[in-house]
Every structure is written in structure tokens, then in C-alpha cells.
Structure 1
């Protein structure tokens, strides 16, 4: 295997003959099925005579002193070459060499600007000689190489070139041959112009897409259907203008970075991304709404696709009197309307309270057969797409979710029971008063006939209970006259 436009020398002998022989060179191109005569010469002891050169098919062929064939490789030079050694009209030996040409190209032409995509290509003719092959970096690392065996091409790319990509790159090809496989190596030098930065001017924009999805459901973020070299995914925060790079994948360098979203990934990295066709699967939370801008790059072209996503999230909250059904939604700029409905009777009017990005409808508790059933929160986009959150209200489930309040009396308790209780308390009051009086009497705090005029002073001796015979007490007190104290006793 030789590179195009280089000098080629095909040897006829492993060692020079010691006797005179006739050497004849012939050629059969890949487009023909017969041999064409080129040159012949008599050779002995490494010396030849006869015609030393000939022009054939626009190319010049020469025979060297050791009977080797010399010419310059061109596109038409590929094919089979035959060297026949004869002596006395008898064929002694024939050597057939299959000559393959390899054409190496580096695009863009070095020096390469920063951020451009470097393409290393090798084209082999005939393609059947390639068993396998690869491009190798200056550090000896094997680069991802795509081989088209039918075309005999080997392609490797280095997207987003930096100054670290300077150096000599080697195309290493394993070649089929009669004596087994052999390795053919060919080198190119790449330089990077660090003072120049590539800018994509050829950009194709796809039609923007408006999407709506339930939180934590799977939604597809499509990218341009291009067999690209690498992809960048940007995210603009919901209801905001803040944008950041969240995902990048380079299929040639076999590297990817997912900066912020663990629930975002390529649909099938093993197949689609390997072939350069990108799309993403996202399981969004409410905060993951917003604009997703997918940019695919192929050589010096860029392709862009925008996906604007609104996320709907439903939840419930219960109190002693009502079950609140709520929906929250993000990326409001593309939302036309959001409303709650009762599935069994969509025409029933539901009272709803709406604030920015949220709508709530209450279901009175306890739940009745008229209020039980499915409730739907439907979000409609301006382009007509919609998404729906469903919640089923059941009597059993709701009763068990209400937190218990303070204990109340049973519903069948009559008012008379409360009246009886009150009367019983009134009956106890005089009994308590009598008991207190007896206790005070026994302690000596009592009024006697001899001590009334001394302001009920205490005396020693037997205690007399005034409550035992109040009439006798009145008779004893009358001669001396009634005082305020007595009046109080009469009372």
C-alpha cells in the first residue's frame, strides 16, 4: 500500500539470478480482466539490458538495474503487477503484487482554527485490501474510527479542536495479503492556530416544539435528525431568561457531561448516539419546565431545535372541613388555560381559586356520593396540546386522612340530662355549707348565750350547737333587745 503521488518500486527478485534470465513486467488494472505488457529486460548478476523505460497510459515506467519496476503512484496505478522470470523460453518464476493506493486528507487544511472540527480521512483503493484500521493520536491513543469497508474509507474526527491537538497522526491499516496480514502506516502532521477561533455561520433552525407533560412522566426532547459529531443541550429556566449548558456529548472522543439533571439521558447512547442521531428522555419535576435548546454540529455546520416544555404537578391537602385539590404548572408563557373538572359531570361548575402558576378547587368534607369520584386538572397549551392530572376522591380514603379534632358529646344526648346535672350541683351546695359549719363548731368558733355581747368570743368548756334548738336561743335573747347580729341569726 502506498500513498498517491509518491514513487513506487516493485521488486522482482528476492536475490539476483546468477545466470541470464528474461524479466517481463505486466499490469492488470482493477477495471480490467487481462494483462497489459509494460517492459522487459535481460538480467544477470544484478545488471539489466534492453529498454529501460516506457510511457504507458500517460505514466512512465522504468526498470532499475536489479530489474525492479519504478513508477509514480496515481489513481490509475492501482491493480495487479506481474513479474515473470524466463530462461530459454521456460517460465522459472512469477511474482504478482497487488498495489493498493491510500489517499490521506486533513480538513480543514492546517493550521486548524480553535473550536473547528478536524477531519482525518483515509481512502484505500481497492477497498478489499482493508482488514481493519484506526487513526492514532500523537500520544499513541487509538481514536474512534469509522470504517466503510465497501468504500475503503477510514474516518476520524476531533471536534472542538484545542492547542492540545497539535502533532503527528498515524493511519494504521491491517492489510490482507498472501503471506498473512501486514500493517501499513501513514502519517500526517496537524498544527493548530491558537490565535483564531472558529465561528459557525451556517446554522439551520428547526420548527420550535411546544410540549406539556406530567411531573415525573417521560417526555422526549427531540434534536435535529442529523448524523452529527457532537451535541449541546441548553436549558432556559421556566418563566425566566436564564440559560445554561446542561448536557454535552462528543461521539468521536467518546465523552459526555451531564451537568445538572440526573434524570436526563440520551434515548439510546449505544446506537443512536454512536451513529450521531441525538434525542433525549427527560423525567421532569415541576421546576424542570422551560426551554430546551438542542444544537447538533456536523463538520462546519450547526443545526438547532427548540423544545419548550410546560410541566403539570398535582397534589392534595386536607383539613377538617375540605379536601383541597391543587395543580401547579411551570413555563406559563405557552399555557392558554388550566381548569379543574368533575369527570362524571364535566358541566358541573367547580369553585376554583387561581394564583400565579397554581389552581385549587375544594371538595367539602365529609365526602358524599355526589362529590366522590374522579377530578381532572387539564392544562391547555396555546398550540392546542394538553396534559391532564387525575385524582380520585373516595369516601373511605378521605375519612381516614382527616386529622381527629377534640371530642364532642354524642349527637343523641338530650337537654334534660344537662338540667339534671345542674340541679344535682345545686343540691350539694347546702350540704357542703352544713358540713363546714359543723367543722367550725367543733373547732370552737361558735356563739353562746354568755358571750353574744362580747362579739361572739370563744370560751372554754362544752360546745353548744346553736343549730340544735334555735327557738330556745331566741327566748333567751329577747329581754336584752334585738341587735343586728340577732337579725342576721333570724335570717
Structure 2
């Protein structure tokens, strides 16, 4: 109804059209969407079902965002076929009506096209088609060299028709695709392209329409030649020099660019050995962490930060060194160097002293390292040093002057510093186990207790035996029986155990002083059973 009123007002010279751009954005004034490549031939059909009588077909056009229809051409059709061949030049484009009343022209701009079929003064059919243009671009120029960044771009106009979109590889894999709604651009990249990635790539675009969402496919053939590309546009960022306590978080920054992929190299501390430790391709959505388990990529939290790379590292002492972060954007490389020194402190106690030591890596950028007493900086400390380590010793027990905090401070050539703090109070010595100290085995105390108990038992057993013997002798219970031989003997000072040398005891015939009994079984009766009796 709105379209009919608009046409009537235009014919009468009165100009008023509802806001068509808003209608276009809402998809409310067209019956279908046709997508064509910019600069190529487009065909818009008119008949939903061919009429059986002679009719008049009229085509008109309105640019997207415009507010008036422009007449193109019309032709008579009989039994679904036009009479004669009609054409017109409009805004430097040639429009033609084919034999089935379809409109044929070279697509140069998006627009809304209206076809009306009349029989006499009666409208039999009316169809409105939105022509959307898609422009496919492949860069760099084909054939592309190995290791270059292949860029696949599809730009759709008007942008409002795009519901979704994705690029598909020759093997049918969906590539990561970024859609910029404001410009209608669907972009996918293949960084460091290989010869195996040649083939036909397809851009699938979901298109809004009155009848729902349809899918439009557009293809481009990509060839990759074997010649390897060499990056010549390389930018070096300012080198960073920093220090850290071992196993505390450190940020390794990368160049601040929206890169396609990133690689991180690590030169081991105080050496020239370099290795690849991390690589990430944000378009193929793949990453590899080679050798550092405590290294993590910081993911961007917003779309605006996408492509800005940095890493979090919890370094051990051996993880100091030189880190090179290389970010690649299209055919340009950006490099950021970070030099990291790591400080690691230890402490252990002995009966007479508290031994403090701190080790450090990447010595090339270290200006000095020293121990100090935090509460009493003037207190002199004797230190000894070897390559990459410095030690100091504090006499025990601690005094009010020596108790407190001890700091190992590492100073870099650029003035930055990092500090390891060790705290010890007087009451802690002997009760606090510090890292690196020698801890006695858990069973050492129980072992000494067992030894003491055993010694006591070995002492008591002879005494008990002597007491029992004297008691039996005095009470008259030592009766000579048929199976027991009784003999009396005097205590011999050379014998410490009555069970060790009974023959020596028998030589003492005079039962004076302490009396011992040597009982020998003469048959099946056990001597201990006799004693019990």
C-alpha cells in the first residue's frame, strides 16, 4: 500500500516517501535479495508464474537510501514472452529486457528494483528485488609467494543484508572470519601460506530477506607459487630490561600492533642458545607452547584489543634471559626484545649460624647485588660471592641487633631493582624450618628412644634373674629332682652375665656372698616350667 501511494504521489508531482533506508534495514519492502559481483552481469526475474494473456511489464529502480523511483523501461509480453527486444541507458548503465521479461544489466551499484505486470488497468503481479553487490578481493596479487599472508575479502553493499558469513577452504574447512558490520566486510587470512593451500575458496553469506535467510556463495581461485617470501619491512621496538623474583608473575610485552600471528623466542640466560618457545596463529586458531610450562598467552578481553599480544611468565631461576616477541601483520614484522634477570633466595640454619644466599641469572645486565639488614642498615654483613650468587652468614643465637629482616637487592644497569626479603625473629631459631635447611629425619627421635629402652631392659633382666634365684634359695624351693641338676657357685667378678660362662661359676664352691644357680634340664622337663612351679 505504501509503495502504491508513493507511486501515485510521484506521478502527480507531489514528493513524499517514508524513510526507505530504515525500511531497507528492516527488510520490509522487498520480496527477495539477489547478490551479484560488482562489474559483472546481473539478471533479475519478474514472473513468479507467466501470465496466459497479453500483459505490460514495467521496470523501475530506486537507489538504496533513496526516496524516489526512476522509470527504466517497459515491454509487452504475450504468453510469457516479450514482443521485441527493449533496452535503455540509465546513469551510464545499459538495461535490457530479455525474452522472459527479466531485467539484464551490469551491476555497478546496489538498488531496489520493482517489476509490475499489468493487464489493462489491473495489476496482476508486483515484485520488488533488492540487488546487493559483493566484491571479492584477494591480496597480494596472485600467484602468492610462500610465507606471505593471504588475505580473502568480501565486501557486501548494502551492509544490512548480511546475516552471517564465512570463508571456506578448498578442503571444506570453515576459516575464522571477521565481519565488520559498519562496512559489510568479511575478512579471512592465511598467514605464512603454504603451497598446499592453493585451490578454490568459497565465501558463504547468509542474506536477510522477506522469506527468511538465504545463502549466497561466491568463489575465487587461489594459486601459491613455491618461491619463499622474505620479510623486508621489519620494525624494532625499544628493548625492555627488567628483573623479577623467581616464580612471581612477569609480563613479556609484544609490539602494540593488531597482528595476525606471533612467535616468541628465548635465548637462555648468559648464553647464546636460542629456541622457539611459543607461536600463535589467531586466524587458524592454533598455538604451540614448546618448552616453558609456566608461559601463557594473555587473551584479549575486548574486540578492540584483538591481536594485541603479550605473555605471562612465572620464571624459575633458569628462565631468565632474552625474549624476542615477533608479531606479523600482513607482510610486515614487528619485534620487541625483553631482557629478564631472575633472583632466587634461600636460607638454612645450622647450630651456630643462619646461612643466607641469593642466586641470579642473566648477569650481563646486572650492575650489583648485595645483602643488607633492613632494620639496621649500618650493621656490617660479611658476604662472599661467586659467579651468579652472593652469600652472607648471621651468628646464632640472634640478638636484638641481628634479628629482623634481611634483604638481597639486585640492581640493573638501567637503575631498576628487585628485592628478596628474609625475615627471622629470635624466637624462631630452632623452631622454624626455612627453605634449604637440613631437616633431621622424622624417625631420628623415636630411634633414640628405642635405644634407651633397650638398654634399660638389658640392665633389668639380669637383676630380676638374680632376685628370683636368691628368693628361691632362701625359701628352700630349690629341691633336687630327678631331671634337674643343682649346683652352687660364688659370683665371679670377671663374669657380667650369669648366662655367659656357667663353668667359671661352678669353680667357686664356697657359697658366700651372692649365690647363683646353674640349672640344667636333664630330660623332657623344661627348666622354666620348674621355676614356675
**Alignment RMSD (CA, Å):** 1.8
1:33 aligned residue: 67
**C-alpha displacement at 1:16, in angstroms?**
2.1
The 2-side partners of 1:295 and 1:171 are apart by 31
**C-alpha displacement at 1:274, in angstroms?**
8.3
The 2-side partners of 1:335 and 1:258 are apart by 29
Residues 338-389 of structure 1, C-alpha deviation per residue, up to 9 Å, x if partnerless?
A: 1111011112221111111111111012222221110001111111111000
Partner SS state of residue 396, structure 1: helix
The 1-side partners of 2:270 and 2:348 are apart by 26
Q: How many residues align?
A: 403
The answer to whether the aligner puts 1:72 opposite 2:106 as a matched pair is yes
Matches within 5 A, 1:99-114: 99-114=131-146
Residues 53-109 of structure 1, C-alpha deviation per residue, up to 9 Å, x if partnerless?
A: 0111001000111111110112x2x11000011222232221000000100111112
Cα separation, partners in 2 of 1:271 and 1:280, compared to 1, 3 Å = farther
Cα separation, partners in 2 of 1:232 and 1:355, compared to 1, 3 Å = same
Residues 303-360 of structure 1, C-alpha deviation per residue, up to 9 Å, x if partnerless?
A: 1111110000000133332211111000111111111110111122211111111111
Residues 345-354 or 268-277, more deviating:
268-277
1:59 aligned residue: 93
2:321 aligned residue: 290
- For the 8 Å contact 1:171–1:187, the answer to whether it is kept is yes
The answer to whether the aligner puts 1:24 opposite 2:58 as a matched pair is yes
TM-score by length of 2: 0.73
> Which of the numbers 153, 160, 170 marks the counterpart of 2:185?
153
- For the 8 Å contact 2:85–2:99, the answer to whether it is kept is no
**C-alpha displacement at 1:187, in angstroms?**
0.6
Partner SS state of residue 176, structure 1: strand
Residues 26-35 or 226-235, more deviating:
26-35
TM-score by length of 1: 0.79
| Structure with the greater alpha carbon radius of gyration | 1
Cα separation, partners in 2 of 1:161 and 1:274, compared to 1, 3 Å = farther
Partner SS state of residue 376, structure 2: coil
The 2-side partners of 1:396 and 1:308 are apart by 41
The answer to whether the aligner puts 1:143 opposite 2:168 as a matched pair is no
1:321 aligned residue: 352
**C-alpha displacement at 1:50, in angstroms?**
6.2
Matches within 5 A, 1:251-262: 251-262=282-293
Partner SS state of residue 371, structure 1: coil
> Which of the numbers 115, 138, 154 marks the counterpart of 1:122?
154
Gaps of 5+ in 1: 405-434, 437-491
The answer to whether the aligner puts 1:204 opposite 2:242 as a matched pair is no
Cα separation, partners in 2 of 1:272 and 1:70, compared to 1, 3 Å = closer
**C-alpha displacement at 1:4, in angstroms?**
1.4
The 2-side partners of 1:145 and 1:352 are apart by 61
The 1-side partners of 2:81 and 2:388 are apart by 95
Gaps of 5+ in 2: 1-34, 441-492, 495-533
The 1-side partners of 2:439 and 2:305 are apart by 56
Matches within 5 A, 1:60-459: 60-74=94-108, 76=109, 78-194=110-226, 196-268=227-299, 275-400=306-431
**C-alpha displacement at 1:19, in angstroms?**
1.3
1:12 aligned residue: 46
Residues 146-155 or 268-277, more deviating:
268-277
- For the 8 Å contact 2:300–2:306, the answer to whether it is kept is no
